[in-house]
Structure 1
Amino acid sequence: MADSLAAEQVRQFSYQGYEFACRIVECPAPVTEPIVVLCGAFQNIRSYHRYDKYWHDSATLICMEPPGSYSPDPVPRTVGYDFDAGALAYLLDELDLPRINLLGVSLGAAPTHRFAQEYPERLARLMLTGAAWGDTARRGAVELEHWLGLRRADEFGRTMVELCVNGDPTRTVRNREAVRRALLDHLSTASEAEMVRYLAVAQRLVDHPATLPGRISGIPALCVTGEHDDLAPPDLARRMAAGIDGAAFTTIRETCHVSFLERHADWADLVLRFFTDQSLAGLDYLTGLEHPARRPEHEETASSAW
């Protein structure tokens, strides 16, 4: 399948003075709307290259990095994630794409969620993975900000790995040590310029909520996280699903925050199945599907419909 892949395009854009890029792999005979991936923190447009072979036969693939992520002038910490959502709307206009399948991964789910609130008519389907940030993420972002401010790439890398990879030996996590080593090698060797940009990412996470109040409706949606994800815990992801009318929720077995690395083939299969309206029932890599029911306004938690 990989031999049939079309050549990629990398295109540069500017939104309100901040540069960003997107990577496009065209599908000659798509069966669904384009799959647009919003990169998570400390990722770039090539971070999802490995999934081309799984998705390309079904959809055109577009991977977008947040504005300012890899330019000399990062977006300042005073700017919330509605800015990134606006940049995505601008990109879709530039590419003449009326409707898309939108995938938000980790911190990339913050602008994804905001986009779904502001532009629901532009979404065919919505998938949020590793998206529900709680106290652990907030405390972690403060620590990341500290080490990046000191330009300590080694401590930054160590902290990120501890946040992303569940180290509890009583929990089974696929490919834990290999993923831990790969992440540490990548993050702990960040250059001075990369740490400047990474610092801006951490500061925005400290200062701004990942989601804003307001329900999402009219879009088929799936919220998924790792079974042992401490950074975006299942209970919070379930609550996020409860704020989206009709959304499904599930977790990927034997994974944590980086399930897209720990079980990459299964994660890719789940994404493609959802974006092509295939059944998700009975998949052995999932813990089971739920449809969280909304409780009355005065209650904060969600319950499961099944």
Structure 2
Amino acid sequence: MTGTQETPVALLHGVGLDATMWAPVQDALGRESIAIDLPGHGQQPPLTEPVTLQEMADDVLARLPERSHLVGFSLGALIAQHIARFHPGRVKTLTCVSSVCRRTDAERSAVSARLASAEADFPATVEASIDRWYSGTAVPQSVVDATRRTLAANDVQSFVHAYRVFALGDRAIGNELSRIGVPALAITGEHDPGSTPEMTRRLAAAIPGAKAAVVPGARHMLPVQDADVLARAINEFIKDSEGERA
């Protein structure tokens, strides 16, 4: 650490979740952090009409610290990328956790099918998400059940509006990634079926100077499944970017 005022870490969650998902990571970081509810999530009012990635990013930006080490997970990563691109003075470093990037036709078809499922049968979408995120992991059942409760508590229409941004947001930011100028890290789980290691390598290749990391054995909910590993990666990346290492 230096003797100067520490730049906080700001944490943005994924679609259907809320700021509380970051608690294990915040405990492990050992530095000042703030977790923010995305529009339509947690303590924020439900989304009542379609929104864009830019609108969600602008909403989040108004509630961020003046400058932060910005960490986004899944949908939160797309929002973080937008903020880093268009408001670089507010972002000291960018960490994209379990992020999609420039989906292929097949990947777009898969997420479009999940969006249609959410509109048609939300309870089934909740269960499919839980299975996709946690199947085969050692995450305690109590934690899995807590995630299920958070998902199930969503206003369905609000969830659909947010999920549509997640489904289309990589198109909105994809052509802008090469213009992100802050230090960036892309990290995901080895077994994440949606935000795959290939996507993380795609993202790191698209952002100048970005680093890529893949956590062995992890699925999509990396901040929950391997909070200590993720926190260590974030801390090491921040120290590297600030030249704090001896």
TM over 0.5: yes
What residue number does 1:156 align with?
Answer: 125
SS of aligned partner of 1:91 = coil
- Aligned in 2, Cα 1:67/1:75: closer, same or farther, shift over 3 Å? farther
What residue number does 1:204 align with?
Answer: 165
Does the CA contact (< 8 Å) of 2:189 and 2:218 recur in 1? Answer: yes
In structure 1, give the amino acid aligned to 2:174: L
- Aligned in 2, Cα 1:146/1:243: closer, same or farther, shift over 3 Å? closer
- Aligned in 2, Cα 1:234/1:75: closer, same or farther, shift over 3 Å? farther
Does the CA contact (< 8 Å) of 1:114 and 1:212 recur in 2? Answer: no
Task: Choose which of 87, 90, 96 in structure 2 pairs with 1:128.
Answer: 96
- Aligned in 2, Cα 1:197/1:274: closer, same or farther, shift over 3 Å? same
Does the CA contact (< 8 Å) of 1:101 and 1:124 recur in 2? Answer: yes
Does the CA contact (< 8 Å) of 1:102 and 1:112 recur in 2? Answer: yes
Structure 2 CA distance for aligned equivalents of residues 180 and 158 of structure 1: 14
Cα distance, 1:39 vs structure 2: 1.4
Task: Count residues in correspondence.
Answer: 235
In structure 1, give the amino acid aligned to 2:223: F
Q: For the aligned residues, what is the CA RMSD?
A: 2.9
Please identify which structure carries the higher helix content: 2
What residue number does 2:148 align with?
Answer: 187
Residue 20 of structure 2 is aligned to residue 42 of structure 1:
no
Residue 108 of structure 2 is aligned to residue 145 of structure 1:
no
What residue number does 2:49 align with?
Answer: 76
Residue 216 of structure 2 is aligned to residue 253 of structure 1:
yes
Residue 86 of structure 2 is aligned to residue 118 of structure 1:
yes
What pairs with 1:1-306 in structure 2 (closer than 5 Å)? 32-56=6-30, 58=31, 60-70=32-42, 71-74=44-47, 76-77=49-50, 79-92=51-64, 95=65, 97=66, 99-133=67-101, 134=103, 138-150=108-120, 152-153=122-123, 155-165=124-134, 176-178=137-139, 182-183=143-144, 186-187=147-148, 191=152, 194-209=155-170, 211-214=173-176, 215-277=178-240
Cα distance, 1:113 vs structure 2: 0.7
Does the CA contact (< 8 Å) of 2:24 and 2:223 recur in 1? Answer: no
Summarize deviations over 1:156-192 as a string: whole Å, max 9, x none.
Answer: 222112332465xxxxxxxx15367743563268556
Structure 2 CA distance for aligned equivalents of residues 51 and 192 of structure 1: 23
Choose between structure 1 and 2 for higher RCO, CA contacts under 8 A separated by at least 6 residues: 2
Structure 1 CA distance for aligned equivalents of residues 120 and 205 of structure 2: 40
Does the CA contact (< 8 Å) of 1:34 and 1:101 recur in 2? Answer: yes
- Aligned in 2, Cα 1:227/1:271: closer, same or farther, shift over 3 Å? same
Summarize deviations over 1:187-243 as a string: whole Å, max 9, x none.
Answer: 268556533332222233334436331213431111111112221111121111111
Show structure 1 runs of 4+ deviating over 6 A: none
Structure 2 CA distance for aligned equivalents of residues 101 and 63 of structure 1: 12
* Higher-Rg member (1/2): 1
Structure 2 CA distance for aligned equivalents of residues 84 and 189 of structure 1: 20
- Aligned in 2, Cα 1:268/1:163: closer, same or farther, shift over 3 Å? same
Structure 2: runs of 5+ lacking an equivalent = none
SS of aligned partner of 1:277 = helix
SS of aligned partner of 1:127 = strand
- Aligned in 2, Cα 1:83/1:266: closer, same or farther, shift over 3 Å? same
- Aligned in 2, Cα 1:68/1:152: closer, same or farther, shift over 3 Å? closer
Does the CA contact (< 8 Å) of 1:32 and 1:275 recur in 2? Answer: no
- 268-277 vs 203-212, greater mean Cα deviation: 203-212
Identical aligned pairs, as a percentage?
A: 19
TM-score normalised by the chain length of structure 1: 0.66
